[in-house]
Amino acid sequence: MQTDKASLLGKVIQHMKELKQQTAGIQDQLELFPSETDEVAVQSLLPPPPPPPPQTSSSSSSSSSSVMLKASLCCEDRSDLLPDLIHTLNSLRLKTVRAEMATLGGRIRNVLLLQDTNNTSTTCGEQESIEYDLRQALNNLLHTSTSSTDRSKRRRIIQSTSTPTNTTARADHHHHNI
């Protein structure tokens, strides 16, 4: 009887491990779905490059350690978000290596793998500066997105709560007071 309980316990433990692996895989997939909160995240995927050796040969200065970043932006979806995002990345001279986008219920999440296109060796301080600049630019993009959708949300809310005969007049009146 004891061996039956022991083997059953072993099977249960093995099954629990399999379930844990499955839920970890699902959790990774869920990270792509947009959340209800606006979010910006930027992280370096490579460790900071070592300081350049004190050599003066041109071959050592031409070897570049390219910065790779993972950036995530979650916000209300809007028609000009992607063009604004592309413009932002181009202005920072970042190349999109991979992009994953998901929309759900009027929200969008963009997860981007980015590479710095500067052809120079990057120091640790410069890498932190690139991360900071990208985070600031995405936050600016997020606030632009939020402020531009507030008015349309208000208009939709008013239109949905108004009676059909007064919808236009009430929405226009409220819009002028904003």
94-104 sheet: strands from edge to edge: 39-44, 68-76, 107-116, 94-104
Query: What is the band of 149 on the pLDDT scale with cuts at 50, 70, 90?
Result: very low
Give me the helices (H) in the chain, please: 2-30, 58-62, 81-91, 124-161, 167-177
Considering the segment(s) 33-49+63-177 as one domain, its CATH architecture is 2-Layer Sandwich (3.30)
Q: What is the pLDDT of residues 89-100, one digit of tens each?
A: 999 999 999 999
For the chain, what are the domain ranges? 33-49+63-177
pLDDT of residue 136: 96
Cα angle at 160 between 152 and 156, to 5 degrees? Answer: 5
Residue 84 to residue 67: CA distance in whole angstroms: 22
Phi then psi for residue 172, to 5 deg, are: -65, -40
Q: Which token pair is 16?
A: 């629990």
Rounded to two decimals, the pTM is: 0.57
**Residue whose structure tokens are 């070897």:** 63
Q: What is the pLDDT of residues 13-60, one digit of tens each?
A: 999 999 888 877 776 666 778 888 999 999 988 655 555 566 554 444
pLDDT of residue 117: 83
pLDDT of residue 160: 44
pLDDT of residue 146: 52
Residue 122 to residue 104: CA distance in whole angstroms: 38
Beta pairing, strands 107-116 & 39-44: unpaired
Cα angle at 90 between 88 and 95, to 5 degrees? Answer: 115
What is the distance of C-alpha 47 from the center of its chain?
20
Cα-based distances in Å from 34 to 47, 48, 141, 156: 28, 30, 16, 21
Q: Which token pair is 78?
A: 């809007």
Is 166 in contact with 87 (CB distance < 8 Å)?
no
